[in-house]
Structure 1
């Protein structure tokens, strides 16, 4: 067994034996014990299990240093690395990836689960088959009865919707769709839709889309 891939929160393991089919990605959570956040992520992944465009959790365990590890199925790279190596994607590939991403989000939303951190680094890709899978549910939540997620700690900066910048309580489904749209733009143009290093990125959104009015954003 050898380390063959390193992602933002995971390291991939696969077997050098040609006949071996087993492969897994090991995701480490540097936490003490098994806090609610880790248990929530495991339970949500199990709830969503079986969908072809959501990464499957195979096991979870804790080492002697009290780090919790999630063992998930292995894919070679994330979408960020894939775009960096392949350059601008072909339109047919962009449409295929977008379709798979929306299928994964539909599956989540039908089960009242919002991912809240959709970005290229959280989309795993098998370049040999063009299969795409949504991963890293560490910020995911199940919707409460109102449909709102009561926190602003959502989404990476480039994929965060305007209402989050403006301090609104995040509606998880709407946030996921905005983030997915940003990913689609990036796949088509090979450039982030709204890059920025701080909340000032909001002004770039307004420059592109226009300032919201009482009619468009009451």
Structure 2
């Protein structure tokens, strides 16, 4: 059985789906429970949690786009619930922290999916699938689903550890296929401190594996590519 809802408006930080530390789905809905198409009557709409008599079994949460429409879907042995998302919402899905799982917030912004971990944000146009029981993420690619083992904050940490970048620009992370592989793309800078008198920066774009955290390649001024090993 499939339930379809239309999300027309919601408070700025209102979670619709929480994957708690037990791997269970907790739904939040607009206060007008009787309506299938949820139309707002004012700028403020109350959000409250639904108490489920029977927890979803083997739930999978998906955030995807088809025919220009974005939808959030929760599928389980109990059925499927689907919501159509037609506005920017940074906080649609929250994965709560648990052992070996970091808190992650997933939303939609400018027709892209937004993943936020510890203040670091990455964007992707690829469908996101979440196994709620394990909190493992997969991203749809032309070759099939691939695990997103390394989350945004961890990807930035991995890039900075190489010392090929000094900083990464906020909001400049993308998750997409590059040269046939799913990669993080992040824009940043390498700053050289010359004799503690002058700081000189060059732009550097890093590509990081979302599976291993390995730095795959960089785009930078030609000369830096040839001498970058001196700064590792």
Give the number of the structure whose residues are more often strand, by fraction.
2
Give the structure with higher Rg (CA): 2
TM-score by length of 1: 0.28
TM-score by length of 2: 0.27
